[in-house]
Chains A and B, each alone.
Chain A
Amino acid sequence: MSADGLVEVGPESEFEDGDHAIVEVGPAEVGVIKADGEFYALRNQCPHDGGPVCQGNVQRELVGEFTGTGERVDQYYSDNCIVSCPWHGWSFDLETGKHIGDDRIRVPTYDVVVEDGIVYVDGGD
């Protein structure tokens, strides 16, 4: 980690949407994920069973809406991007790290900085 707390991940150009990279940030393993052109970073440890959550599938969150008595629940993909732990499917909002079914459960998140075409995780000072 550099003096300013930034941990280098790699060139921005090497990331496609849905790609991830794993870096060490202090004692923690952190996953950097690109989704919808944005970078996110979360602790690569599922709070459920310690699984490598950031190495899981990245998708839009499927949500449903009650539209009226007797109607089918209207289901559609929201703008929210989620990552799902490949071990058991626990899924977290990439932006907030919160479990999409119970927001009291969350994975720690980190800031991502892109400078001069290089992606960094901000590990804090």
Chain B
Amino acid sequence: MIDAAEERVIDCDWHYQDSFTEVAEYMPEPWRTKYKDSFWEETGVTQALSSFFPTSTGDRQNYGKVLREHSNYPDEPEDPERVREGMDFLDIDVSLQISHLILATGGINADDERIQAFTRGYIEYMLEEVLDPDEGIYGLAPIPYGDIDASLEVLERVEDEETFVGACFVTAGASPPLGNRKYDPIYERCEQMDFPVVYHTGGSGLDEYVRAGYQEMIETHTLGFLESNMSQIVSVACQGVPEKYPDLDIVFMESGVTYIPGLVSRLDEEYLKRPEEAPLLDTRPSEYITDFYFGTQPLEISARNDLLELCFDMIGTDRLLYASDYPHWDFDSPSVINDLPMLDDDDRRAILSGNAEEVFGV
């Protein structure tokens, strides 16, 4: 068996714990002043996120029981040095940074410009202070998809920046769902730029979007993240995004892998009974969805080995991308992939880095 520490490892989902304090400096006015005057800089990222994200079932750190080294939600603004330290800690050569705060924006329904302003500031901040290809630190550009013009401006801004290697869509809260023709111009542009689209689930509105009234994190965290990704997979596939933009690389992050065979089986069953309702598809939805890429985290290593093996077979080990979700409390280290008994060494290398090299060109 290979040793992950000796291999090149690309982590496709690293959460940069960005803070309003830092990003606001780069925001356009009037949002810079609005943010800076909002007391967020005194209360740090935890409180700032709560301001966006006011309701969540329970404490992610399991009421003091989760004490993973380096893993926390800092009250202080993030320090870019922590990325390098964390990569060393996990033996990771390349990381793709996503914005931690942007995950909460799916809960915003107001037609103001908070998300657009934050996105612009975040990109400038990351370019200036964090991203560094020489250190293997790349970024995914957050897309304020509710505003198509603003989204196209983001793509234009990052087009010539080698440090941004993909677009990040937060799947929670997207309304209409992300297969809608409304988003076509973004997909068209991403395809032209050879810029993968990364759908990242999010916790925004966890207490609302699955079952209002859940009591504990175990309930919402099991289904909430899953549900928001599944909703978008069904929409993107049935509305024919892969047929409209066949060269677009599509990636789904942060829901593990065991839901995919169940979802595609159910969707195929529906499709065979009513194919005229997905008229752009030439064949079963599963054949498109298994062309998507999937981040592995949080990998269900507690599942039966034969189930995981079946999932890998159905999805294809050439479609799986190692993702840590670091530094979130349930992050997976590369050994989670390395130690899987049903994989051979070629599969391990593909998942740890080879597939990501092809998708993101890093």
Chain B interface size, as a band, is 20 to 34
State whether A101 touches B272 (Cβ < 8 A).
yes
State whether A66 touches B283 (Cβ < 8 A).
no
Given contacts A66-B240, A70-B181, contact A90 B276 (CB under 8 A): no
CB neighbours (8 Å) of B278 from chain A are 101
How many whole Å from A7's CB to the nearest CB in chain B? Answer: 30
CB neighbours (8 Å) of B271 from chain A are 101
Given contacts A89-B274, A90-B272, A102-B284, contact A70 B279 (CB under 8 A): no
Q: How many A-B residue pairs have CB under 8 A?
A: 55
Q: Is B275 an interface residue (CB 8 A)?
A: yes
8 Å CB contacts to B: which residues of A58-109?
A: 61-66, 69-73, 75, 88-91, 99-103, 105
Q: Is B219 an interface residue (CB 8 A)?
A: no
How many whole Å from A63's CB to the nearest CB in chain B? Answer: 5
State whether B276 touches A91 (Cβ < 8 A).
yes
SS class, residues of chain B in contact with chain A: helix
- Partner pick for B244 among A61, A66, A89, A101, CB 8 A cutoff: A66
- Segment at the A interface, from B168-176, B182-190, B330-338: B182-190
8 Å CB contacts to A: which residues of B222-255?
A: 239-240, 243-244
Chain A interface size, as a band, is 20 to 34
Docked CA distance A62–B275 (Å): 9
Contact mask B266-300 → A, CB, 8 Å, 1/0? 00000111111011110110000000000000000
State whether A66 touches B243 (Cβ < 8 A).
yes
State whether B181 touches A71 (Cβ < 8 A).
yes
State whether B283 touches A102 (Cβ < 8 A).
yes
State whether B272 touches A102 (Cβ < 8 A).
yes
State whether A72 touches B181 (Cβ < 8 A).
yes
State whether B273 touches A89 (Cβ < 8 A).
yes
State whether A62 touches B185 (Cβ < 8 A).
no
How many whole Å from B181's CB to the nearest CB in chain A? Answer: 6
Docked CA distance A75–B275 (Å): 13
- Chain B residue with minimal CB distance to A48? B272
State whether A100 touches B184 (Cβ < 8 A).
no
CB neighbours (8 Å) of B181 from chain A are 70-73
State whether A73 touches B273 (Cβ < 8 A).
no
How many whole Å from A81's CB to the nearest CB in chain B? Answer: 13
Docked CA distance A91–B272 (Å): 8
The residue among B184, B243, B276 with the most chain A CB atoms within 10 A of its own CB is B276
Given contacts A66-B244, A69-B184, A70-B185, contact A88 B283 (CB under 8 A): no
CB neighbours (8 Å) of B273 from chain A are 88-90
Closest 10 CB pairs of A and B: A64-B279, A101-B275, A69-B184, A62-B276, A89-B273, A70-B184, A69-B188, A88-B273, A66-B244, A102-B283
Return 17 A-B CB contacts under 8 Å, by A number: A62-B276, A64-B279, A64-B280, A65-B279, A66-B244, A66-B280, A69-B185, A69-B188, A70-B182, A72-B181, A73-B181, A73-B239, A75-B279, A89-B274, A90-B273, A101-B271, A102-B275
Chain A residues proximal to chain B, CB less than 8 Å:
48, 61-66, 69-73, 75, 88-91, 99-103, 105
